[in-house]
Amino acid sequence: MDFNFQVPTRVRTERGLAKKIGEFFQLLGYQKVFLVTDKGVRNAGILQAIESSLHESSILFEVYDEVIANPSCANVMVGVKKLKDFDPDSVLAVGGGSSIDAAKGIAVMAKNSGEIIDYEGVGKIPHEGLPLIAVPTTSGTGSEVTSSTIVTTNSHFKAAIISPFLYPKYAILDAEITVGLPMEITAATGMDALTHAIESYTSKTSNPASAALAIYAIGMIKDNIEKAYFVGTDIESRENMLVASMLAGAAFSQSRLGNVHAISHTFSGVFNVPHGIANATLLPFVMKFNLPACPEKMADIAKALGEKTDGMPVKEAAELAIQAIIKLNDALNIPSNIKDLNVSLDELPKLVEDSMRSGNVLINPRLTSSKDIEEIIENAYNGIL
């Protein structure tokens, strides 16, 4: 029962708070802000109210809107140079997981030497960076409350940097800015959050606190993702998805993840597959692989996903969790195999090698070899469960 539990990020949920961000920064005492985002957020018009609020509150700011999907080390370091030229006292991230991850790297590298990739691994960053306030515009990564950032190397490997210095100081959850999300992004990010919660719950390093957050998040996502997807403008389901994503992020920041993320990161790095879609498509295949190692937890997941499991043998109930994910993916128009994601088995040796480099393999509930990873990928390619 030995475990540590720490979620130092202060979370504030309030509709319309993003439009008052300047007042929020005034209360915190920050006067010069480096705003990190991407062109998609810019083109969606989300920044207009935020920039106006900063102006009205006399907060000086500069915008770095060059963050790319699956941000590279170079992408982060360009932002670091621009930040140092501006010399702010704080960093504001507005966007999805890519923007928040990039902002984390930029904020911490403001006070550390070298390049962000120098700190790949756990606990290698020596100094705290600039304070970061994160405003997620999607309900998926939970990056606004985690201690990790993911950057893509020149060899197309998605490297994880994990440090308590990467936790944002504040996370602002404003459902109003997620209402306009396209259906495909709602599906991808929502299933990303669900994958976080499931992998956190079944992780070898799960603890009572992380498990409680994870299983609650699973139920919230099940109850809200389809309404957020099909209705879109329903503010309550959007808000619930934001909160569920945050809870899943807080859970996996304690427990880490598993084989889905170990493999899906390689798809994003090599083939630039959207992370959430890669997770969702892989999830049933990894759950099938893991089932013998954690049938009781899988049965819990089935129940949280709304399956009727009372009186069933544990293994039968556990199988229903996999079927529930398959049905949910189908409802959200997510492919049933990775071939449809343009993943090629020509790259199988690299995919296996890079997957095995991930620390997530070590805490996956079932012991995993290179051969196992190869079989999971092949089964997922052919759609064989």
Q: For helices 370-382 and 259-271, what crossing angle results, to 10°? A: 70
pLDDT at residue number 5: 79
- Secondary structure class of 358 (helix, strand, coil): coil
pLDDT at residue number 64: 97
The one-digit pLDDT tens for each residue of the chain (385 residues) are 677 777 899 999 999 999 999 999 999 999 999 999 999 999 989 999 999 999 999 999 999 999 998 899 999 999 999 999 999 999 999 999 999 999 999 999 999 999 999 999 999 999 999 999 999 999 988 999 999 998 988 777 888 899 999 999 999 999 999 998 999 999 999 999 999 999 999 999 999 999 999 999 999 999 999 999 999 899 999 999 999 999 999 999 989 899 999 999 889 878 888 889 999 999 999 999 999 999 999 999 999 999 999 999 999 999 999 999 999 999 999 999 999 999 999 999 999 999 998 889 999 999 999 999 999 999 999 999 8
Separation of alpha carbons 273 and 343, rounded Å: 8
pLDDT at residue number 31: 95
206 token code pair: 């799960």
Q: Is the pTM of this model over 0.75?
A: yes
Question: Residue 255: exposed, middle, or buried by beta-carbon count in 10 A (0-12, 13-18, 19+)?
Answer: buried
Under a CB-based contact definition with an 8 Å cutoff, are residues 252 and 200 in contact? Answer: yes
Separation of alpha carbons 161 and 148, rounded Å: 6
Separation of alpha carbons 227 and 344, rounded Å: 33
Domains annotated on the chain, with CATH: 10-178 (3.40.50.1970), 183-382 (1.20.1090.10)
Q: How many CA atoms within 13 Å lie on the side-chain side of 25? A: 33
Nearest of 200, 207, 205 to residue 252 by alpha carbon: 200
Name the DSSP class of 354: H
pLDDT at residue number 52: 96
Separation of alpha carbons 282 and 383, rounded Å: 10
pLDDT at residue number 156: 78
79's CB contacts (< 8 A; 6+ apart) are 36, 64, 66, 67, 102, 103, 105, 106
Nearest of 91, 243, 76 to residue 161 by alpha carbon: 76
pLDDT at residue number 1: 64
